[in-house]
Structure 1
Amino acid sequence: MDKNIVIIGMPGSGKTSLGKKLSEKLNYHFIDMDHYIEESRNRTIASMFEEGEVVFREEEIKASQELADTAQTVISTGGGIITQEASMKALKRNGLILFLDRPVKNIEKDIERDSRPLLKDGKSRLQELYEERIELYRLYADLIVENVLDEDTVVEAMAAAINQYESRVEE
């Protein structure tokens, strides 16, 4: 398969760490979209958010369009990418969208040491974000994999879901 694997999910759901492992397993390239945006725009996401979330989302749309032209790449997106239809349409053009679903209570254990702009208000905001976004994650997802076990087991589940999806598409 030449398509990209685009991982969506809540902040703290494991998109980056599991995405890296999945890319190694599939022998794909790996791109963390937030790092890509920071490096290609030569500024931090926090500085974009200081100008307003809309500034960051505009850069995210542009980056989505750029990354849609890659192939055989696992792309770890930012948690809010699903709020921008243009980003999702671009990524879906050459990508299989995998929603990595991790329970909020599991994410909460990790956010104390997190510096992401939308998580600065802590646990109550995390639950609000989940409730605001869950339907969009499900809407855009071609595949849904729960992240409730150890990393290696979840990566195996991701790879198996991708293989199953490919088999169905080829029939």
Structure 2
Amino acid sequence: MKAMKNIVLIGMSGCGKTTLGRMIAQKLSMKFADTDEMIEKKEGKKIKDIFAENGEGYFRDLETLAAKEISKFKNYVISTGGGIILKDENMQYLKQNSVIIYIKRSVQSIKQTIDASNRPLLSSGLKRLYEMEKERTPVYEKYADIVVINEEEPEKAVNEIINYIIN
């Protein structure tokens, strides 16, 4: 297969970006990267600890560095943190050589599947999750080349993304 653009997955925390990303990478024989994992590896600590010890602003700066690094990648599927869209600079880096896919999932489905203890911004509960969805949805939609609903079996969303990419 010829080298293709990166596939960048954006969406709310818990919408399935990492799960879908790994599946897509395997099916298309592409490499996989996760911005949160990149940051954790570089900092030597979990995201929740970075938030607790250094604050959200520091974490967002690390996210920008990760986005800049990713802009040099080729042939990758990349799962991003839910807030990467909060800085336009991040999205400009990611759009350079990538197809941006917004993974959309209902708050109810997200709430059923996440472990809030590992997601610093979600530990404040369902109300905050709905607020974040309301704030972020228009921004996700603004940057997305395509919106894919991930409510049922992950394979369905994976196949929809792959069909979009190869056609």
Q: How much does 1:29 deviate?
A: 0.2
Q: How much does 1:83 deviate?
A: 0.3
Residue in structure 1 matched with residue 37 of structure 2 by the alignment: 35
When the two structures are superposed, what TM-score results if normalisation uses the length of structure 2? 0.93
Maintained 8 Å contact 1:13/1:107 = yes
Residue in structure 2 matched with residue 9 of structure 1 by the alignment: 11
Q: How much does 1:128 deviate?
A: 0.6
Identity, in percent, stands at: 40
Per-residue Cα deviation, 1:19-46 (whole angstroms, up to 9, x for no partner): 1001011110001110011112323322
* Matched position secondary structure for 2:118: coil
Residue in structure 2 matched with residue 130 of structure 1 by the alignment: 133
Q: How much does 1:160 deviate?
A: 1.1
Residue in structure 2 matched with residue 65 of structure 1 by the alignment: 68
Maintained 8 Å contact 2:68/2:93 = yes
Matched residues, number: 164
Residue in structure 1 matched with residue 26 of structure 2 by the alignment: 24
Maintained 8 Å contact 2:116/2:123 = no
- Supply the AA of the counterpart residue of 2:50: M
- Supply the AA of the counterpart residue of 1:90: Y
- Supply the AA of the counterpart residue of 1:31: A
Residue in structure 2 matched with residue 168 of structure 1 by the alignment: none
- Supply the AA of the counterpart residue of 1:29: K
Superposed CA RMSD in Å reads 1.3
Q: How much does 1:48 deviate?
A: 2.1
Residue in structure 2 matched with residue 169 of structure 1 by the alignment: none
> Where do 1:20-169 residues align within 5 Å?
20-50=22-52, 51-112=54-115, 114-164=117-167
Maintained 8 Å contact 1:147/1:154 = yes
Segments of 5+ residues of structure 2 without an aligned counterpart are none
Q: How much does 1:112 deviate?
A: 4.9
